[in-house]
Amino acid sequence: MTSTKEQAIADMMREPWLAHATLFRHRHPTPTPRFHREIVRLWHDATLPRVLVQAFRGAAKSTLAEEAIIIQALTRGFHNGIILGETYERAVERLRAIKHELETNPLIFELFGEQVGPVWSEQKIVLTNGAIIQAFGRGQSLRGSKHLDWRPDRAFADDIENEDSVATPEAIEKTKNWLMATVEPALEPGALMRVNGTPLHPRCVICQLAADAAWVTRVYPVLHIDPTTGEERSTWPERFPLADITRKRAEYHRMGMAHSFAQEYMCQAEDPSTKPFTDNLIRVEPVVRTWHAVYAMCDPARSVKSTSATTGMAVWSWLANRLIVWDAFAGFWQPDEIV
């Protein structure tokens, strides 16, 4: 019996998806979509130090992350893992789900034995094999995250941004500074970081990470275009049929919330359909301004709240029926700054 258990564990370590499908079958009632297997592969690939996953609401990306953390803790894939949430309470919720599986999953008990270790609190747990998992909220200090001789060698950030944290450039910078100047220095050299996120603003931290070459980024919108037929296809048709997505999109548009649908379901910080100018209408060409009559306009916002539009500035000329834009920029500025 012991050799059978050891063989089962060895098979799971070689093929991570087998571990997910076996240990957590009860969490996968719907047929598995192809993108789940790719997310699992990325989570367990130790050669990838930084991975960012953007997936539509309901894609089960957090569920897969919880399972990956459990598997890696059971197999000593890390010594000290930390979970980062939008708030401390959200991070604790994620840890609570992990604790529930470790406490009640009969297959985990059969293969790995009892897992409730000497520390089993709201914010921190220590498994019987010595692996530690801790929860922290955005902005929280990570002093004290070291356990015995181990600094965190695995970090998972789960939707650490919200509407308030992307309301102003200063708020975005605050989140980025916390992630890069507080979290990263607290990690063990060579620690693996995994981030789940939703692009809530074109300059939000998630979008900045996605543009950075150090991060391996995957984006999974609820809809995609079939390259063969050019038609829309559901990314997870068994759970999100195309007809249901179409109805939901129409509902969001009727309610004036197309922007929210683009963010939550299409993983787009902005909804392209709301833009008067599309990419194919814009060409970048070097033009020297000589005799052109030049016009400028400022469209000021009345406040800098997250619900307000940005203040826009544009400088342009007309050449026959062609519009030449010399400069265009926008920002959240106070009235004196606009002046």
Please, are residues 81 and 131 in contact by the beta-carbon 8 Å criterion?
A: yes
**What is the average per-residue pLDDT within 151-172?**
94
Q: Which residue has the tokens 């990306």?
A: 61
Stretch(es) of the chain classified as CATH 3.40.50.300? 2-220
pLDDT band at 1 (very low <50, low <70, confident <90, very high): very low
Q: Which residue has the tokens 């953007």?
A: 54
Q: What is the per-residue pLDDT for 277?
A: 66
For residue 18, what are its two tokens? 């087998």
CA quadruple 259, 260, 261, 265: dihedral sign: positive
The fold of the 2-220 domain, in CATH, is Rossmann fold (3.40.50)
Cα separation, 142 vs 152, whole angstroms = 10
Please, are residues 313 and 330 in contact by the beta-carbon 8 Å criterion?
A: yes
- The tens digit of pLDDT for each residue in 82-112 reads 999 999 999 999 999 999 999 999 999 999 9
Q: What is the per-residue pLDDT for 291?
A: 85
Q: What is the per-residue pLDDT for 8?
A: 78
Name the CA dihedral angle for 298, 302, 308, 311, rounded to a multiple of 10 degrees: 20
Among left, alpha and beta (phi > 0; psi -120 to 50; other), residue 266 is alpha
Phi, psi of 173 (to 5 degrees): -60, -35
- The tens digit of pLDDT for each residue in 192-245 reads 999 999 999 999 999 999 999 999 999 999 999 999 999 999 999 999 999 999
pLDDT of 191 strictly over 70? yes
The 8-class DSSP code of residue 149 comes to T
Please, are residues 316 and 324 in contact by the beta-carbon 8 Å criterion?
A: yes
- The tens digit of pLDDT for each residue in 16-64 reads 999 999 999 999 999 999 999 999 999 999 999 999 999 999 999 999 9
How many residues would you count in the chain?
339
**What is the average per-residue pLDDT within 319-329?**
89
**What is the average per-residue pLDDT within 240-266?**
94
pLDDT of 306 strictly over 60? no
